[in-house]
Structure 1
Amino acid sequence: MSTFSGLNTASTALWAAQRGLDVTGQNIANVNTAGYSRQRVDQRAMGGAAVPAIHSVAGTAEGGVDVEAVRRVRDAFLEARAQLETGTTARLTAESQALSRVEEAFREPTDSGLQSLLSDVWSGFSDLANNPLKLAPRSQVLERLDTLAAGIRTTRASLDQQWDQTRDGLSALAADVNASATSIAELNQAIRQASLSGLPTNELSDRRDVLVMELSLTVGATGVARDDGVVDVVIGGTSLVSGNTAIGVRLAGASGPDDVAGDPPRLVTQPGGTSLRVGGTAASHVATLTTIVPGYRAQLDTLARDLVSSLNAAHGAGFDAKGVRGGPLFDDGSGTLPVVLGAVTAANISLRALTPEQVAASATDPATIAGAVSADGKNADAMFKLSLDPAGLDATYRKLVVALGVETSVATRNLEVQSAVSTQVEAARESVSGVNLDEEMTNMLSYQHAYSAAARLVSAIDEALDTLISRTGLVGR
């Protein structure tokens, strides 16, 4: 190595060490920046002439070092796995929360739950059977029946409110997806232009990857990288972002829970109207709107109709305090007769306007006892025994609550397992792309010593040149 070429080698070493220190400083500065991927300097040795010539032979180790690239440290497999697990975790989290809200609507086991209200009704009929001539037990039965109907309406209203809120949330989620998709398309364009101009794109790529991960969480999207650094975003096989072009997403389908069967809510592309097979939080919202809440609403409506059918029939079999055959206890709130069972839902079940004397506690027809009013209380007892029917109202409701509890428990357990998997994947991902201060400190010391050594090399060459020039001058004189 000649002394003058040695200066060039030392200068490249100084520049490479300085670049390494700059990148290390950038990593340390962004240790707490969400989505930041640590960067590494790729260095390449600069050798002699790459192409031999007849009168040019490079037999020395001249050249130095060149910074080939500053690249992000990422594992493509772990990134794809993180997107998948993030979407699954988000879906299970939202599903567990939805089922928990359904449980809250039924308020079990509490004093305001339907099971407790049913028990109060049966207890009221038992008291009436023992005291059929007193007004207090009759009034108590009517009050408890009215409270039961109000409890059913409250539960139904809670489910309807959950449905409306979930639909509003899904609509807002679609707007967020559109904003993120547009930003990703713009970043793709910026990254492509920067790459063609030879400018750094690491920070832009980090911002884009954060947005892709957000889409994985909300709609289960996955990113597909191209060779030119651009990332396409796909949702269930449908391309949401392709290069610098993004399509929109909108919420379509029924605006009310009663119309779900004919026109289920769903996310579709805009334009085009193609239904998307979404994942993440959106998948749970769609399931809540189409399956979870409508399913429990239907079961609650069935319970309300069974209650009306059973108690109206049992009450109609008895006679009130004046010897008149009992009429319907419940209707759909319209007050019209006869009661149309198909019109009754959990939202409109209502106790008819009855006086305590109109409660049909007796089972004996006054005509059979020469017009006298019976006080046997057997019809009230018969209505109490409805609670003992193994296929009756209580059994049906307990089956509903147990099924809800099991479904919620399964969802919670699945979420716990999935959370553990996601934590492991995220830890593995962070071990590759996350900033480790101890490692960065080691790198900083390494580059610092490399810089000091290169600077010392410059000083040594400078001293050699000074000696050579000075001593040569003395010999010449």
Structure 2
Amino acid sequence: MSSTFHGIEIGKRAIFAQQTALSVTGHNIANANTEGYTRQNAITQASNPLSYPGMNVGNGPLQFGTGVETKEINRIRDSFLDGQFRSQNEQLGYWDVKHDTLSKIEGTLNEPTDNGLQASFDRFWQSWEDVSKEPDSLAARAALLSNANALAGRFNQISNSMDQLSTDLQNQLSTNTQEMNNLTKQVSALNVQIAKITASGQQPNDLLDQRDLLIDKMSKMADITVRPAGNGMVDVLVGQEYLVKGDQNYPISFDATTNQTKLNGKNISFTSGEMAGMVESLTKDIPSFMAKINELVTVFSREVNQIHRDPAAMNLDDIQSLKNDPNAVTDQIPFFVAKGGTGDPTTAGEITINPLILSSLNKIAAARTANVSDAGNANLLNNLKFKNVSFSNQSTTMNNFYRTIVGDVGIKTKEAMQMGNNSDILVQQAESRRQSVSGVSIDEEMTNMVRFQQSYNAASRYISVMDEVLDKLINGTGRVGI
């Protein structure tokens, strides 16, 4: 037979179970706006029954119910949706960095504006045309020198901007490396705490949320793989190398001299995430862009210098010398030189005007005969803009080659922007699906609160009924004849 106070015990368990459910609901509501929080649910089950023997129950005893108990507080989370979100988050991080880098390269070119390289080229060619009209005019020569200097300065500026962009990316990559190491350290520390609580038979829901949030942040930085380990722990890998293995974490290092990242003593390559975008920008995008700019500088300065230092080319000093001595040797100096040298420049960072020309406008070779009114050389230099010249993979004009560079950067920038926008949409969709499962709905929690409250009230009322029954049994019986 059951205990006299069996009903009270059932009511007590019901109150405790509903009280726990209300507490979980309150916890959900309190953390409705907490980043990374996963809603929780109190799972109840019937408590172990008692045997209830009797004369009319066949060969075995009946099972007599003892009420309800809270089995666990469940964290409502879908690991498949987590994987989808992190996969898209990696792509978003990659394209964000790529777009940022390419936008800065595009901004450095500053096309099409009056301050762009194309405008500087146009003013340079126009200056030779002006000199061809007045070859002995010092004003026209001064304008040519100013525009040539501005053109060389634009090349220098592009080179300096790319050097600075590379330095910024290296600093950012170094910072991200430190941040990644900090995250892996926190994940391994949480693994330890989670393992201890899991081993004791409890469920560390809030710690699991903290760990998942850290892993979400890591997913935007690198293409990580998350694997379950024992006692609720997880391992985190990049490729085949461990970032986190149980309670151990392994730091990433970055070498700015080689733009190489290392993990566990090995070079590692990222395929997506912010760090992949930074490494690719440093090792591919910027070098590829600068290689084309440097090729333009090499071909441009070579073509200009070939005409300017041609034995037939003459400057004002040459003309005066030939008047005094018909056998005098002409200067035959280049127009552009490498900084600190006399050879033709081959990079945007080293191109500059010949110091001899900077010190004397007379050194500009505009003629091809010993006549100050002759503009044969100026005409050749002016027409150079229309000449097809040989580049590494094509024969075209210098203006067209530069437009190809601008177009290529523009196409890549637009592609990165579109891919970034697509990735952002996919991340939002993945997060929306995840929140539909794991997120806290205030309306739903308020409904649950009313449901659990009414169950709590009913359990309380049940205890009141059992109390009246016991009062009648104890105080209202056994008093006959008194």
> Does the Cα contact within 8 Å between 1:236 and 1:278 map onto a contact in 2?
no
1:302 equivalent in structure 2: 295
Per the TM alignment, residue 326 of structure 1 is displaced from its structure 2 partner at its CA by: 4.2
For residues 235 and 56 of structure 1, the distance between their equivalents in structure 2, rounded to whole angstroms, comes to: 63
Per the TM alignment, residue 56 of structure 1 is displaced from its structure 2 partner at its CA by: 10
Which of residues 199, 204, 218 is equivalent to 1:201?
204
Q: Write the deviation string for residues 270-325 of structure 1: whole angstroms up to 9, x where unpaired.
A: x4234243531000010011101111111111111112101101212321124245
For residues 51 and 345 of structure 1, the distance between their equivalents in structure 2, rounded to whole angstroms, comes to: 96
Q: TM-score, normalised by structure 1?
A: 0.91
Give the AA of the match of 2:186: S
2:82 equivalent in structure 1: 79
Q: 1:296 to 1:465 in 2, by over 3 A?
A: same
Per the TM alignment, residue 168 of structure 1 is displaced from its structure 2 partner at its CA by: 1.1
Per the TM alignment, residue 238 of structure 1 is displaced from its structure 2 partner at its CA by: 1.9
1:37 equivalent in structure 2: 38
2:234 equivalent in structure 1: 231
> Does the Cα contact within 8 Å between 1:238 and 1:276 map onto a contact in 2?
no
> Does the Cα contact within 8 Å between 1:83 and 1:222 map onto a contact in 2?
no
Q: Percent identity, please.
A: 30
Residue correspondence of structure 1 range 287-436 to structure 2 within 5 A: 287-317=280-310, 318-322=313-317, 323=319, 324=330, 326-336=332-342, 339=343, 341=344, 344-353=346-355, 354=357, 355-364=360-369, 366=370, 373-390=371-388, 391-436=396-441
> Does the Cα contact within 8 Å between 2:293 and 2:348 map onto a contact in 1?
yes
> Does the Cα contact within 8 Å between 1:82 and 1:426 map onto a contact in 2?
yes
Moved more, 53-62 or 11-20: 53-62
Q: Tell me the SS of whatever aligns to 2:421.
A: helix
Moved more, 90-99 or 54-63: 54-63
Moved more, 463-472 or 24-33: 463-472
Q: Tell me the SS of whatever aligns to 1:344.
A: coil
> Does the Cα contact within 8 Å between 2:50 and 2:63 map onto a contact in 1?
no
2:393 equivalent in structure 1: none
Q: Write the deviation string for residues 327-382 of structure 1: whole angstroms up to 9, x where unpaired.
A: 2001111243xx2x4x6311111101212222111133x3xxxxxx2523122121
For residues 283 and 162 of structure 1, the distance between their equivalents in structure 2, rounded to whole angstroms, comes to: 16
Moved more, 443-452 or 354-363: 354-363
For residues 383 and 244 of structure 1, the distance between their equivalents in structure 2, rounded to whole angstroms, comes to: 70
For residues 265 and 372 of structure 2, the distance between their equivalents in structure 1, rounded to whole angstroms, comes to: 73
For residues 6 and 454 of structure 2, the distance between their equivalents in structure 1, rounded to whole angstroms, comes to: 22
Give the AA of the match of 1:65: V
Q: Write the deviation string for residues 3-28 of structure 1: whole angstroms up to 9, x where unpaired.
A: 52121111111000000011111111
Q: TM-score, normalised by structure 2?
A: 0.90
For residues 52 and 384 of structure 2, the distance between their equivalents in structure 1, rounded to whole angstroms, comes to: 100
Per the TM alignment, residue 58 of structure 1 is displaced from its structure 2 partner at its CA by: 4.4
> Does the Cα contact within 8 Å between 1:49 and 1:58 map onto a contact in 2?
no
Q: Which runs of 5+ in 2 are unaligned?
A: 320-329, 389-395
> Does the Cα contact within 8 Å between 1:84 and 1:222 map onto a contact in 2?
no
Q: Tell me the SS of whatever aligns to 2:26.
A: helix
Give the AA of the match of 2:414: S
Per the TM alignment, residue 250 of structure 1 is displaced from its structure 2 partner at its CA by: 0.3
1:186 equivalent in structure 2: 189
Moved more, 98-107 or 50-59: 50-59
Q: Write the deviation string for residues 65-94 of structure 1: whole angstroms up to 9, x where unpaired.
A: 111100211111001111111111111111
For residues 476 and 415 of structure 1, the distance between their equivalents in structure 2, rounded to whole angstroms, comes to: 92
For residues 437 and 237 of structure 1, the distance between their equivalents in structure 2, rounded to whole angstroms, comes to: 42
> Does the Cα contact within 8 Å between 2:173 and 2:275 map onto a contact in 1?
yes
For residues 50 and 146 of structure 1, the distance between their equivalents in structure 2, rounded to whole angstroms, comes to: 102
Q: Tell me the SS of whatever aligns to 2:237.
A: strand
Per the TM alignment, residue 266 of structure 1 is displaced from its structure 2 partner at its CA by: 2.1
Give the AA of the match of 1:172: T
Q: Aligned-residue CA RMSD in angstroms?
A: 2.2
**1:454 matched to 2:459:** yes
For residues 463 and 51 of structure 2, the distance between their equivalents in structure 1, rounded to whole angstroms, comes to: 26
Q: 1:476 to 1:108 in 2, by over 3 A?
A: farther
Q: Tell me the SS of whatever aligns to 2:232.
A: coil
Give the AA of the match of 2:24: V
1:170 equivalent in structure 2: 173
1:214 equivalent in structure 2: 217
2:260 equivalent in structure 1: 266
For residues 185 and 476 of structure 1, the distance between their equivalents in structure 2, rounded to whole angstroms, comes to: 77
For residues 60 and 475 of structure 1, the distance between their equivalents in structure 2, rounded to whole angstroms, comes to: 36
Give the AA of the match of 1:21: L
Q: 1:60 to 1:465 in 2, by over 3 A?
A: farther
Per the TM alignment, residue 468 of structure 1 is displaced from its structure 2 partner at its CA by: 2.2
1:258 equivalent in structure 2: none
> Does the Cα contact within 8 Å between 1:106 and 1:114 map onto a contact in 2?
yes
> Does the Cα contact within 8 Å between 1:82 and 1:422 map onto a contact in 2?
yes
Q: Tell me the SS of whatever aligns to 1:473.
A: coil
Q: Which runs of 5+ in 1 are unaligned?
A: 256-263, 367-372
Q: Write the deviation string for residues 187-215 of structure 1: whole angstroms up to 9, x where unpaired.
A: 10111011122344111111111111111
**1:251 matched to 2:254:** yes
For residues 385 and 164 of structure 1, the distance between their equivalents in structure 2, rounded to whole angstroms, comes to: 39
Per the TM alignment, residue 222 of structure 1 is displaced from its structure 2 partner at its CA by: 3.0
Structure 1 consecutive aligned stretches of length 4 or more whose deviation exceeds 6 Å: 50-56
2:391 equivalent in structure 1: none
> Does the Cα contact within 8 Å between 2:50 and 2:66 map onto a contact in 1?
no
> Does the Cα contact within 8 Å between 2:18 and 2:452 map onto a contact in 1?
yes
Q: 1:12 to 1:476 in 2, by over 3 A?
A: farther
1:259 equivalent in structure 2: none
Which of residues 131, 134, 151 is equivalent to 1:131?
134
Give the AA of the match of 1:232: D
> Does the Cα contact within 8 Å between 1:75 and 1:432 map onto a contact in 2?
yes
For residues 236 and 315 of structure 2, the distance between their equivalents in structure 1, rounded to whole angstroms, comes to: 71
Q: Tell me the SS of whatever aligns to 2:65.
A: coil
Alignment size in residue pairs: 456
